[in-house]
Structure 1
Amino acid sequence: MSIFKIEGGHQLRGEITPQGAKNEALQVICAVLLTAEKVTISNIPDIQDVNKLIFILGELGVKVTRIDKNTYEFQADEIDLDYLKSAKFKKDGSSLRGSIMIVGPLLTRFGQGYIPRPGGDKIGRRRLDTHFEGFIKLGAKFRYNPEEYFYGVEAEELKGTYMLLDEASVTGTANILMAAVMAKGETTIYNAACEPYIQQLSKMLISMGADIQGIGSNKLIVNGVKYLGGCEHRILPDMIEIGSWIGMAVMTKSALTIKNVSWENLGLIPNVFRKLGIALEKHDDDIFIPSQKEYVIQNFMDDSILTISDAPWPGFTPDLLSIVLVVATQAKGSVLVHQKMFESRLFFVDKLIDMGAKIILCDPHRATVIGLNHDSELRGSVMSSPDIRAGIALVIAALSAQGTSTIHNIDQIDRGYERIDERLRALGAKIERINDSF
């Protein structure tokens, strides 16, 4: 187990290129199971969660060739379905929540899909009902072994149908969409998630021969095809990492350029940071953040306190609320952060309070942040990362703090951020990865 040791108070400088989008990668990599032909995917982030998924596909029989650091070729022409019922798969699959998305492709192509209850972030319940209810509506039979927490779906043939999803689940939509592309007839998925990740997956599937209409909306219409072929696909830059770099620049009063951000796929992200008083400049497809000594939170038009909350796309992504919260600690003014979509994502604020932040945790979903306007800097502290996004928020807090901070459980951060310590050091940060042997 490793730790980060961070000496705060140093400005960053230079340019940074964001990694490929983690959430998109977990979907499109699973889509290679839909064809026996070769699929090449580029801009794959070199992070733990994605590498675990690629390992699982390799164990399943997918031929995996790494062309360069972020480009892979996959060919799923000799799948070992027996692996799905093995003790090894139960162990491998349970360590990664993203493994749930192999079920849809396996079900539609091979008539069966299995998964142990997947792990991931400890941010409250993240149920799988949407996935399996969609498979059942397509004609699959569902079974569950409560003793081993093992799920399975089987079908001789999937048939298109109309379905209204009970929630606009991103992974649920992706899984059902991949199952529907080779189902017989037409499938309508209403209340579908419409995040850029889903749009990218849809475009990839179309390049493989799928018939999908309504991309970018919450109503997808899929006409099943009998066969899908190979393709080449490039993953978008990670919007969550882009937001994280914005937070790092602002909290350290640094001037930073974030390269090739795909502005058209950022949605509300730039506007939400601007509401916090942060200057963002669009330079072609780059974001430039100038050095700011202070940033003032905007109130609503009636002068009431600003509220920032998450919502399904095109609303503000929940993955950036942790970043917004830590950035607000050094703003001028106050903001209410309302985390609606997960139960436990705000429970890391006690660590920020220990560092000197002025935060009132109203309940598991709401926190009021009283900005210190850099009049009272955060203090270095010893902390532990509870999940990916809270972990990077603690890194941002430590980079801006007086003194030295130690962050344990950084495997959580490595799950979503590629070589974050190396890339920060290249920008001037004082961050060290230390192997903790105790």
Structure 2
Amino acid sequence: MKQNAVFARTWYEDTAIAPPDFGQVALDDCAWDVGIIGGGLAGLTALLKLSQAGARVVLLEARSIAAGASGRNGGFCTGGWAADDAQILRLLGGKGAAAMEEIAEGGLLWMKERMHRTGWESTAATPGVLRVSLSGHGAPGDLDAQALAAFVKAPRYRHGAVSYEGVHFHPLNFMRLLAREALEAGGQIIEQAHVRGAFRTSRGWHIETSRGVCRAQQVIWAGGGYGEGDAPMLTSRILPIRTYIGVTEPLGEMVLRHIPTECAIGDTRRAGNYYRRLPDGRLLWGMGITAFGTLSIPKVKAMVLRDIAAILPGLADEMRSAGRGIDYGWAGNMAYAPHFLPLVGEIRPGFHALTGFGGHGMNTAPAAALSLVSQMQGNLGDPTPFSQIPRPPVFGILGRIAAEGSYRWRILQDFRAEKVSQSHQGQ
């Protein structure tokens, strides 16, 4: 277990503010309006909004708040969804795609408004996300390779675009502050409450947990890629996909020479690299996707060094000469549907889904939660675009095989595209 990257301690945990005091909640003595399963960003946002509206709500988390992807991700918050614009347009049409864009933008603004509040300074919100490509010619107005050198010394990058609408931040601190806000609004949180099953009765829903039975009129299943709760109607439609992050030792001026920008940086490959400088002079580096098993902590650290050398060879050489390595290596599970769009809405009477954000949840999870709560409260006259999103099955192990195969196919496509671009550049 100590070598399993899924349970590895993160840089965020070692630099986090203290969690709020959740107090003592007796599940068996209460009847709740809503029980929320999963203490990530989606679940906490729903808890906050329902509690602010006066509902009696409890959130059940199997481990600790933000122990999953919401508290151990790369710390990027940008617009859009995990699915690209063309995919959304194909599935939902022009009207649905426009509604999804508006919802995603609302989620980004909701996050940024909190990050900039007094008392939320520990989120360390920094504007700017640079999206770069290793192939192709880019769109009009994109930065070319020469202009990119002012941001990052990465010889393989061909073009890119920077947006200061996106931000990067400390996600675990954000989550702990959000949990505090939800508690102050009257919500209740119970950690170490592993959900064993949810069953409908004549008086609502019974949620069986390791801490007792929760009786609620409605349920929101906001689990991610960790299989929270026994909800086969959802787990049959969601795949747990794993990604990996490492953090270097403090690099001082060394990292500034090779990454002079304060922007976070990510490339356009489906499973490419994403990285950013941290306030203490370290470099956070994200990479890779696997659908099976997990990598050990030493393997993650070795992958980080390999990837840095492939993208930032000058920095890798300086790190090697100075004897600087990788201090942290961890993994996080993400919940994916085959089309990269979330499952949001009522699945059965009184049972609502809020999951499947596909590694792009820092704006979309709160956006979807706000939409779902409004729908539950009857504040939306028309169906949301989420009701139009297909809910195909993932076929268990076959789905994982397909996901792994798709990932590897995309790696080959990206490699070929880069080689083609290099050959054109040399002509």
TM score, norm. by length of structure 2: 0.24
Q: Which has the higher helix share?
A: 2
